[in-house]
Each structure stands twice: as C-alpha cells, then as structure tokens.
Amino acid sequence: MGTARHCGNGVRLFIGERIEHASDRDVLVTVCDALEKGTGWAYIFANFNVNGRQIDVAVFSATTTLVIEAKGYTLPIKGGVNGRWTQVGSYGSRKLRNGYTQALDAKNALRDAIAELFGALSDYPNALLAIVPAIPSGSSLPPSDFKVKSGGLDAIEVALNTKSGALLSEEQCQEFATHLNLERVSGRDAAIHETVLLSERTVTSYESTFLEFHGPIGAQLAEDQYHLGDKLISASNILKMAMSSQSALLIRGPSGCGKSLLSSRIATEFIQFGMLPIHIQGKNFEGKLQKIIDVELRLLSTSVRDLLRASRLLARHIVLFLDGYNECPEHLQVALTRSLQAFSLRYGAGIVITSQGALTRPELLLVEEIQVRPPQPTLKSLLAKLSQEDENFTNCQALLEIALSGLEAELIGQAAASLPAGASTFVLFDTVARMRLGSFTTEGIRALSGFAEEMISQTAFSMSIREFDRFCDATNVTDATRHAILESRLVSQRGDRFSFSHEMFFYAFMAESALRVARKDSGRVQAFLRSPRFHGSKALILGALEDYSTLRDILERTTDWGILESCVRGECGDAARRIVKAKLDVLLAEMVAEISELRFLLNGEGWHSCSIETGANRPILSKFEVFLPAIGWLLMRGVYLEQIMAACRVMDEKIAEANSDLYEEAKAKKVPLRHETFSQAYVFNHKIALSQLVSFVHSGGLSFRHSPGSEFGEALKKSWKEASTHSEFYVLLGITRFSKQAPWAAPYVLNLLERLQSLPYHLQLATMDFCVHLREVDDAVKAKMISALENSMDKMDMVMNSMIFDALKCLGGLDAEEENYRTVVLKEIESVLSESGTQSEAEAWNIFSRQFDHPYDSIYWEEINNLASDQKRQFLFKALKGASTDFVMFVSILIRQLAEIGDPAVSEAIEPWLRLPAKRSVMPQDTVEVFFAAHEAMGILGLPLPATVTSPVDVDETMRACGELAYWACRLSNCELESSPQTLNARATLLAYSASASAGALWSSTSRMLSTDGARTHVATSYPNTALAVCRDALTNHESQKTYHEHGLMNDLASIASFSIQVIGQFGDTDDLQRLRSLCDEEELGHEALNAIQKIEDRVRYLK
C-alpha cells in the first residue's frame, strides 16, 4: 500500500470504529470521491452508533444531511417496505433484514440525536439505501420514495446533491462529533485500513504529547529579528524558509539568546502544516543517532519504528530538530554531522540545528545559517516587561545591561519591584526565588541551600526521589515546605530524579550555601572561589557578600580574571564594581608612570636587537595581565580610551626620544631603529603593562561576544579624530577592526595607506590587516585605498607584497585581474599534466597548495575542481608524489581528496605517508594528521597495509596501533570494530601500554587541527570500550603518561588527563563516578571532572 489518501481541504471525516465491511468501504470511497469534486464544506461520519442504532455513513453539508445504509448484495433480492427480505440463490433462499427499514430507522435515529443536542429541527434528513456495486439483476425492491431512496453506487452522487432538512452548521457538526465521541481521521485510508488508522493514532498521540511538552517552551519566544546573511528576518519567515528549503537550517548564536525557544516554536508550528517534528538534544549523542531519538520518542509515548512507519504511510514529512549541537562532545561532532546527513537521506527528513558554533564538516549538509544575536536592549526590556513609569526602572535598566540571556531579563522583570539599586545577579535570582516561595521563603531558602550543599558534597547534579525524601527528613523540611519548593518550579522532577530547574538556580543556591558555611571568613570564601566545584558560582558568591570589608579583602587579593571581569560588568553588585574599578584606575595610572621611566637599549646588530629597560619596580603591575579582560570590557563601553590614548602619546615620545638618541649607534649596527623601537614597545616586550594591553587588543582579547555599550561608538570616533601618533593609530586599529565603526574609520586608514612606507613595520601590518576585514566602505574611499596599496607594491619586501595582495583582494582591487589570471592557472595545470618527472610533481604540489594561500586562491580551487575525473586523479596523484615532507599543512586534505576518487592505483603515492611521523617537526600536529589520513585512505580504498617491524618503543607502537585502528574503522562496520580479529592486535597493544603511552596516542588521533577539513575518523569514538579502558588506566597513572612527540604542545600531562576524563564522561558509567569525584578539587582537572560526572548522570540515570 502506498501513502495514505486524504480527504479534500473542505471535507472532514470522523469514525466510530474502523470500517471493516467491503460494502461500507465502497460507499465511503464513493462519497469521498463525490465530495472532493466540490468546493464546499462537508462532514462525514462513518461506522458509528447513535441512540443504540448503528449507522454506516452520514454526510452533513450546507445543503443536505444524508444517511446511507450500505449493502453488499450480489444475488437477487426481493421484499417490500414491511417484513423481512429474501435473497434467492442457486441453492435456495435465505431471509435478510429489511434494508429499507434499516435506512429509515437510521435516518430517524440520527434526527432524534440531533434534536436532543440542538433542539427542534425543521424537516428530516434524507436517507439512501446504497447497494454495492448495483442492485442485482432480477431483484424486486420497494421503489424510492420521499423517506428512503435506493440504488447502486451511482445513486450516491445524486443523493449528495439533493437538498434535505435537518441541516447543521460546521460548528454544530464539530460539536455533534465531539458529543458522539467520534475520532477524526485524515481520510478514507485511515477509516478503512487498520495499519493507516493505527499510524494516524500514533501520530495524533505523538503530536499531542509533543505540543504539551514543547508548546509552552516555544510560547516563551518574544518577537525578534534574526540575521540571514545581510538580511533581517522574523521567526515566521524562518518557519516559511524551513518549510520550503532543501537545505538544513542552522540556528546559531551564543548561550541564552533564545535559540532553543526559536527551535521549539518552529517545531510546534510545523505540526499545523502537517509535518512531524522530532526534537532531540545534542548533548545526549554517544555515536548512535537512533538511540537518542528512540529515548526521546519513548518519553512522548511512541518509538522510532512506529513514528517513521506512520510518517511513511501518512505521507507526513519528518523534520529532525537537534538542539545544542555544540554540547555534543567535540570528538563526536563529525559522527553527529554524518548521522544527521544519513538520517536526512534515508527518510527524506528536514534538519534544523541549534548551536553556539559552526558545524563540523558542514559540507556534508547543505546548510543555511540563521544568526541569533544576544538579546538587545529593546528585546531585553520587552522580555522584562518594563516601562519607564515603573518605580524601579532605573535599577532594572542597569541590570538589563549586564543580563547575558533572555532568562535573566525575564527574571529582572519579575523581581523589578523588589530589586535594590546596584543589585547583583545573585540578588536577582535570590529575589525571584523568594517571590516564588512566598510565605515559605525562610524555610525554602534554607532547604534549597541545604539541597545544593548536599549535591556539592556528593559531587552530583541530581538526587533520586528517595534521597530527596531522606534529605528532607534529615534537615527537618516539613511537608508544606517541600510542597512549596516543588510548586515554586525552582526544583524540577524528571523520572525519579530531582534537580534544580535551571543551572543558574543551582549556582545561586551553591553560593548561598557557601556563605552560610563561611560566614564572614575571608579565607574560607577565597577557598570556595578557588574550588572547581564552585566554578559556576564564583560571581554569585561575591554578589551574595554584603560585608564590605570582607568583599574588599577578597577582591584586593584575587588574581582570577573571570571574577574581575564579572565585577566590572556589575554581576557581583555595585560595591564590587566600585572596588575593582578603583583598582583599575590605579593600575592605568601606574601603567603611564611606568612608560615615563623606561628607556630603549641596543644590544646587538640587525633585526631583533633592541630591548626595553624599565625604571622603578612596580609590584602592583606584576599581575597586570589578569586585569586585561576587565579593562577590555570597559573599553567596549568607551571607558579608559582617553587614558590609553594618553599612554600611547607618552610611549610615542619615548620612542621618538630613543630614535634620536640611538640613531648613530643604530646606523653603525645596521639596526632598523624606527621598526625595532615600535616593535619592542607593542609586540615583542610583554613585561611592560602597555605592551600587554596592546597585545591583548590586537590578539582579539576584546569581548565582542557582548554588544558594545552605547558610549563606545562616540568615544571611539573622538579618539580617531584626535589621534596623531603611530602608537595611537596602532591601538585604534586593533580596537576598531571588528567593530561597526570600522567603515567609519576608513578615511583615517586611507591616510595611513598613503604613507605606508614611512610607518613602523608592525603598524604597516596592522593597517593592511584592517583592510582585509573592512566591509561596506564608501566606493570613493575604497578606490583611493586600492590606489594607495597599488602604489606601495614592490616598494618594500616580499612579505609586504603578499599582505598588499591580500588587502587588495578583500577590497576588490584584484577583481579586474582575476579572470585574466585564470589563463595563467590553466596553463600551469596543463603543463603539469603534460609533463612527467619529479619537477612536474613538485609543481603539482605547489599548484595544489595555492588553493589555500594565494591572492587568486579561488581561481586555483575552481580550475582544479573543474578538471575531468581522470585529469583530476592524475593531478592529485602527482601533487601527493611531489608533496613536501617538511611543509605538510595541506597534505592530509590532498590524501583524502585522492582517496575519495576510489582508484586503488593511487596507493603508490599514499603509502610513503604511512610511516610513523617524525618526532621532531616544526608542524607536529600536522604530521600526525597526515599519518592518520594516509591510514584512513588505505581503508577507504580497501587496500592492505604494508607489513611493519615491531618497535620496543611504547609511543611508536601505540601510534602505529591507532593508525591501524583508524584504517579498520574505514573498512569494517561499527558493530564489528571491537570484536573483529582484524583489530585484536592493535587493541591489545593499546591495552598493554595503557599505563604509559596509549592515552596520548588516542588523544593525537582525536585532535582536529586547522589544517584539516574535519573528516577525521576518531579512534576513541570508533572503539569506545577500548578507549574507556585505556583512559581509566591512564587516569590512574597520569603522571606516567607521554605523547609521541618529544617537544611541542602535545607533550602535556594535564591535557592527556583532561582528554581521559572527557572519554570517561562520554563512555563511562556509575563505576567511574567515585574516581571522577576524587579529582573535583584539583585546579587543573576539577572543572573537567565535574562536566564528566554530569554527563554520566544525565546518560545513566535519565536515559536508561
């Protein structure tokens, strides 16, 4: 049977029970066919009982009410209006019920039922005795009269077009169906076929439970505008786009911006358009998509199998909503993307994803991206439901400025009448909690603080209902208080587990419990702030402190940059903000004083031969770097710009003084003094405070995750207008580069470009880098900028020429030449394909690399990908043969592209890369990428690995084992990997060396570097049981762990331990909780251990 057929838009079908008799089915089909030809509305009731009388079909329309008695006579029938009828056959006759009387009784029973519900009626319904397919030849039946008409199927359409009495409106028909407890079905197939009916019941039940759960969530979404490229669109337009698009939809934005609300809104509205949404959480993905879908659907009273079968039978389009892609562990994200692709292809399903970041391997899904920005002031005010007439409006406005999410904005609105001036985030959540607890505030706060303390002591994130009962008994929580707590929705129950309804409430009550324990003991409070267990509560603990001397003592001692930034943001309250702001004022004054006392020295010849000697020792600046995020946040509000510009002018004076005093010495030693002094001041010297601050700015340290304050734009423009020194311009370029003010600053940047050759080296670089990121510039200014860059070409060095090319490209200065250069690219490729030998192979590699690092990289990419399949295979083969073993940044991409062609003959080029990577390399991460890419390529091509010689060195054997496992992961199905004899030796090797080198090798196999396209097969994901056993052992022996490379970033014990904890969190069970809890107080690993515990709890305690 194909997909279910439905009634037309104006026809609604209800049944009492499924239609089983063939004659009833034929009549219903004929009725539906006839009504669907028309344009008016109609209600069909089929196979139902009314006042003890079974009725086959009743039809209600604007012109008729018709009752049909269906009969399936195949032999002649004889009878009158009275008495029983007789059917005559070859072997005799038999008595039948009088069809005329049945039709008449059905009509009268229906009229009586209508009258009972709606009152007296005018006239009667019509009645039809319908004999399927026609009245048998030789029959003798009563002629049609005004009470009952009779005939075959052809009489149905005539009867439907015959006017009658006892007419009902559409609203009355709906009320009558409800009164009779009839079941609405989509069409004839559901009424006739049991499988379709069961599927429809499955869908109806699912939609009801889905709306019950997700409807209230979606209803919380406030109207906002979202970014689709350069356009702004509404939520309703996103819905239309999602319904019509063939692409996956990615809803992307930071935490708390409403992505999940938007996702739930779209999902619930899809149901109204006949689509079936499935809503799952990315954090629950463990490698198998169907598992988490089935768990979610079972919570909604169905299963994957039943819902997918129902969608197929009813032709209902499935749309899979994945909320929180970024919460899926990083090493599983490729598998998640591939699973989404496979689900979409297999079931023809739409995909909607929410995430804080980009997808891994986004090319697997054709994606359209919607940007959801953090709530803007207008939306936050809307969510808070505040107006300027409110008594506490000013206080709340200050809190709304620091609110990071829609939830906080809503809570501010709820607490508006109670919030004091300069209230902290803790006071906000505390006030809301008190409002919700009502008359049980004191007892409730005490109980919830104890609840939080109990979970902290257990290192747990939830508590069973039994534990909760025992906790209430042990702490004398009364039944009334317990009931008030549950009614407050501060705590929620899922299954048999209790937890706080939102992590922010958990953090707030953790803070309350900490202060109840510490009281005013500054040392104990600082211990809590250092503990990883209280990582999410640090700002709340400070916000809860109301003893000024204790607060000041803590803030004077802290070197936690996160706490300091939270303070200046106002999250910790006005008192904490004032204390830290005063400290920053002193620091910046000391920064300027430090500059006034420094002097430049020459201590060598040529480049990098300049240094800075500071004056008096300034202990207050020894930890200056921890204050940089706080200073950066204030900079984004327009604060401190004047002070920093003043410091830059003082530094410029010192640079000018040095350039004058050291001129002769520099000339003798061939030191490029103008460049050297500037570079020491802002780039290479990280000892002086101003250098640290400027480096922070230029390295992207300014927090653009949050919107700049209202004063930022004007303060920045003022600084640009008043700037006159190289130092000021350098700092302003860093601050302005990614801001909305960048196009406004373009004329000032033009001025720098026109004298580019006279600028210090790093100011030259910053000026051209600014051009690379510049958008929406006035055409006249842009043309002058292009001209200035062209005038500087070939007047400096090759590095500068490359930077000028990049700047020109981004400004559109190369557009005219781009197509002309295509001829050059085509000739280069043609030459490589027509020649042979090592030189042509090396040139092929050079051409391949130019796709990623060349002014005309897009032309190279287009022409290489436009090659015919044979030519592309030949080109890639040559490029890999000629690839550099020193510069391997793009080799892994090349290997994967070559493997995708599927020609085993290319193995000759791949096999050399199967060798263990060099332990000393300028690109250690990339050499590992290439090693695994080569093994995966051999697996994809189905070719055997060359024999290797066993090494006595553990890091060699574990790296080789991981490569072999990656190879088999591309050849065997997932279910075979950990049981196949093919993988036994490699798995045994990892287990044998788990106390020393195996976890490091697994870590290497799962890291994704910028040089890849994210296509890596992750060994830990493919072999979870092996990885879990290895990482458990590695954590026990974590001081003995080592990695493959002798030097470099990857030789890091803490990182291996962190990786091991992540694997245990992803694949472990309750047996691992005790070991993880023992790590929760370690500074380096505690936060990671807590995350792992939460993942195990969510997975094991909720999902089983």
pLDDT digits over 299-319, tens only?
Answer: 888 888 888 888 888 888 899
In angstroms, the CA 136 to CA 621 distance is 107
Amino acid at residue number 608: H
* Tokens 């979202």 -> residue: 226
Name the token pair of 549.
Answer: 């001397």
Task: Give the model confidence (pLDDT) of 580-594 as tens digits.
Answer: 999 999 999 999 999
Q: Write the DSSP assignment of 976-1005 as a string of letters.
A: GTTT-TTTHHHHHHHHHTTTTTHHHHHHHH
Query: Which pLDDT belongs to residue 1101?
Result: 60
Choose among 1051, 952, 963, 1036: nearest CA to 1000: 1051
pLDDT of residue 1015: 40
Q: Is 205:307 a contact under the CB 8 Å cutoff?
A: no
- Dig out the tokens for 822 from the structure: 């295509």
pLDDT at 1009 over 50: no
Contact indicator for 591, 572 with CB cutoff of 8 Å: no
Average pLDDT, integer, range 154-167:
92
Q: How confident is the model at residue 3 (pLDDT cuts 50, 70, 90)?
A: very low
Q: What is the mean pLDDT of residues 601-626?
A: 87
What's the DSSP call for residue 945?
Answer: P
Separation in Å, CA 608 to CA 473, 595, 655, 677, 688: 71, 21, 16, 10, 17
CA-based nearest residue to 468, from 508, 458, 488: 458
Q: Are 742 and 775 contacting, i.e. CB atoms less than 8 angstroms apart?
A: yes
Q: Taking a C-beta distance cutoff of 8 angstroms, is the pair 918, 930 a contact?
A: no
1014: left (phi over 0), alpha (psi -120 to 50) or beta: left
**pLDDT the model gives residue 388:** 66
| Arithmetic mean of pLDDT, 913-932 | 84
pLDDT the model gives residue 513: 95
Rounded-to-integer distance, Cα 234 and Cα 381, Å? 18
Between strands 42-50 and 599-602, the pairing is: unpaired
pLDDT tens digits, 655-708: 999 999 999 998 988 889 999 999 999 998 888 999 999 999 988 888 554 567
Tokens of 1099: 């997975």
Average pLDDT value for residue range 1033-1043? 89
Pair of tokens at residue 800: 């500068």
CA atoms 797, 801, 802, 804: torsion sign: positive
The tokens for 501 are 């309804």
Domain with CATH 3.40.50.300 in the chain: 195-373
Q: How far apart are CA 167 and CA 62, in angstroms?
A: 7
pLDDT band at 396 (very low <50, low <70, confident <90, very high): low
Work out the mean pLDDT of the chain and round it to a whole number.
87
Average pLDDT of 280-307?
A: 86
Q: pLDDT at residue 392 above 60?
A: no
Task: Give the burial string for 936-974 (b: 16+ CB within 10 Å, else e).
Answer: bbbbbbebebeeeeeeeebbbbbbbbbbbbbbbbbbbee
Residue 399 pLDDT more than 80?
A: no
Sole residue written with tokens 């085509």: 826
Residues 6+ apart with CB under 8 A from 953: none
Q: What class has domain 195-373?
A: alpha beta
- Distance (Å, whole) CA 371 – CA 392: 33
Q: Which two tokens stand for residue 376?
A: 């803007």
3-state DSSP assignment of residue 269: helix
State the Cα–Cα distance between residues 15 and 430, nearest whole angstrom: 54
Query: What is the mean pLDDT of the segment spanning 174-187?
Result: 91
**Calpha distance 319→957 (Å, rounded):** 46
pLDDT (mean) for 844-850: 91
Are the C-beta atoms of residues 282 and 263 closer than 8 Å to each other? no
Answer yes or no: is pLDDT of 344 > 90: no
Tell whether the model's pLDDT for residue 273 goes beyond 60. Answer: yes
* Residue among 336, 372, 370, 374 nearest 248 (CA): 370
d(Cα 303, Cα 38) in Å, to the nearest integer? Answer: 39
Residue with tokens 């697994």: 1002
Model pLDDT, residue 545: 94
**DSSP bridge pairs for 185:** 13
Indicate the pLDDT class of residue 1016, thresholds 50, 70 and 90.
very low
* CB 541, CB 529: distance < 8 Å: yes
pLDDT the model gives residue 848: 92
Tokens 């436009």 sit on residue:
866
Q: For residues 164 and 65, is the Cβ–Cβ distance under 8 A?
A: yes
Backbone conformation region of residue 423, classed left if phi is above 0, alpha if psi is from -120 to 50, else beta:
beta
Q: Residue 395: pLDDT above 70?
A: no
Range with the lowest mean pLDDT among 248-262, 279-293, 563-577, 637-651? 248-262
Reported as a single tens digit per residue, the pLDDT across 5-46 is 445 568 999 999 888 888 888 999 999 989 888 888 999 999
Contacts of 502 (CB under 8 A, 6+ apart): 407
Here the tokens at position 561 are 């940059």
Residue 57 dihedral angles phi and psi, to the nearest 5°: -145, 135
Cα–Cα distance for residue pair 405/398, rounded to 1 Å: 14
Residue 850 to residues 438, 874, 880, Cα–Cα distance (Å): 68, 18, 14
pLDDT tens, 529-559?
999 889 889 999 999 999 999 999 999 999 9
Query: Which pLDDT does position 1013 carry in this prediction?
Result: 36
Nearest to 57 by CA among 107, 97, 101, 9: 107
Query: What band does 810 get if pLDDT is binned at 50, 70 and 90?
Result: confident
pLDDT at res. 890: 87
Closest CA to 516 of 420, 424, 578, 430: 430
The two three-digit tokens of residue 1031, written as one number: 């990482």
pLDDT at 2 over 50: no
Identify the residue with better confidence: 113 or 199.
113
Whether 60 contacts 43, CB under 8 Å: yes
Higher pLDDT, 837 or 235: 837
**Three-state DSSP class for residue 140:** strand
Dihedrals φ, ψ of 970, to 5°? -95, -5
Q: How far apart are CA 98 and CA 79, in angstroms?
A: 8
Per-residue DSSP letters for 866-900? Answer: TS-HHHHHHHHHHHHHT--SS--TTHHHHHHHHHH
Q: Could you give the percent of the chain with pLDDT greater than 70?
A: 94
Cβ atoms 928, 950 nearer than 8 A: no
Q: Write down the H helix ranges in 545-688.
A: 548-557, 561-569, 574-597, 628-635, 641-661, 663-669, 673-679
704-756 confidence digits (pLDDT tens): 545 677 788 899 999 999 999 999 999 999 999 878 878 889 999 999 999 99
**CA–CA distances in Å: residue 497 to residues 468, 523, 788, 809:** 9, 35, 67, 58
Q: Is the pLDDT of residue 447 over 80?
A: yes
pLDDT greater at residue 1053 or residue 971:
971
At which residue do the structure tokens 């994704």 appear? 1008
Tokens representing residue 265 in the block: 């809104």
pLDDT tops 90 at residue 803: no
- Coil/strand/helix, residue 152: coil
Q: At what angle do helices 99-118 and 170-179 cross, to 10 degrees?
A: 100
User: Peptide bond preceding 133: is omega within 30 degrees of 0, i.e. cis?
Assistant: yes
Q: Give the integer Cα–Cα distance in Å for 670 and 691.
A: 25
Alpha carbon distance 90, 75 (integer Å): 9
Contact indicator for 151, 135 with CB cutoff of 8 Å: yes
The per-residue DSSP string of 215-264 comes to HHHHHTPPP--EEETTEEE-HHHHHHHHHH-SSEEEEE--TTSSHHHHHH
> Does the structure show a pLDDT above 80 at 244?
no
Residues 297/278, Cβ–Cβ less than 8 Å: yes
